[in-house]
Chain A
Amino acid sequence: MAFYIVYIREAHASDIWQDPDNLKDRVSYTEPKSAEERSEMGQLCAAKLGIKFPAVVDGLDNATERAYTGWPERLYVIGQDGRIAYKSGPGPYGFRSKEVADTLHRVVPPLRNGLDLSGGLLPKPADRAIRNPVQPSQE
């Protein structure tokens, strides 16, 4: 499976809607005004938050954010068939990563069957049997 950050317009840019919690954390940035500024902010965001998977940047027209109602944050799982398998509620309240994990266990065949665990997603079956002698029942 693939993971992507879609960097969108800021949730609490200091010049638009400052969040006091951000100020406490000394996070205070204005809304990027150009595509280049937005790309730089996307890079900064991924670096500061220690995000290991790739970040792509929404255009200044916010077209992708609008299509997905992604602001201020939101999670999606798109199935192999290109259909939406999971859509979270709007963040911050709806941002529930466990629901993504549950969806992945349902839609990714290796995770679902607990058989072919190639790709390093989970320990190999033998390892898992040692660590977790009780095998989860198959769906």
Chain B
Amino acid sequence: MHVATFTRSTPDTAARVWVDANGNVTWGDVATVVNPWDEYSLEETIVQAKAGGGESTVIAIGSDLHNDALKHSMAMGVANALRVEEPTADMNDSLVWSALAAGAIRKIGAVDLVIFGKESVDLATDQHTYQLARRLGWTMLSYVSAILEADYPAGTIKVEKMLEQGKQVVSARLPAVISVMKGINEPRYPNFLGIRKAAKATIPVWTAADLGIELPRAATAILGFANPPERDQSSEIINAGDLEANTRALVDRLFEEKVL
């Protein structure tokens, strides 16, 4: 039994991120963190692998920028880590990305469950998740808020998942790809032993050739990045007198703005 998960390093959510004079995205020398949504998928990976008495592996696709996220994952308790890097590939394209990801899962072999976080806080498409599932031809269950049952020998899973309209309970066959929401668990903090073990680990790097796959052509191109237009910064603190006068003045303004 084997549970795999994907993660990436993202700039700290409090960091200022901007486009520099050369048109590149930068966040200065602020440190990266493990993608915050992945804390839940990493925790769930550890929990499920333990419950099923199996292995766990965390994978990052891309440059060694992502080693920090992999080390953090190992320090939390994921048993194995690996990175896929293909110098000739356009890593920004999700079809290329998912071909590499599917290749990695197939090479590991006998994976029962792949767990993703809801999305990455930097690119926030969550399309990586669905496109991997589609490439593998596996069941896809998105926005899982609880794993109610998982029977790995029988190859079945029952989850609660979120929709805009409410919650659904769904039964499905394994192998499956799932994405998990905040609230599914309480992510643990890495402990001293975990941090020491992760620091000593060497992370294998696989290329497309190692995976034995042919890369698809990139289907998209990023044309450029720009800083968003400045928000209209004019702010007015309403101070029209007493409580009633203030709230009446606010209501007047909102009618003038035509938002009511």
> Real complex partners, A and B?
no
Q: A-side interface residues toward B, CB under 8 Å?
A: none
Q: B-side interface residues toward A, CB under 8 Å?
A: none
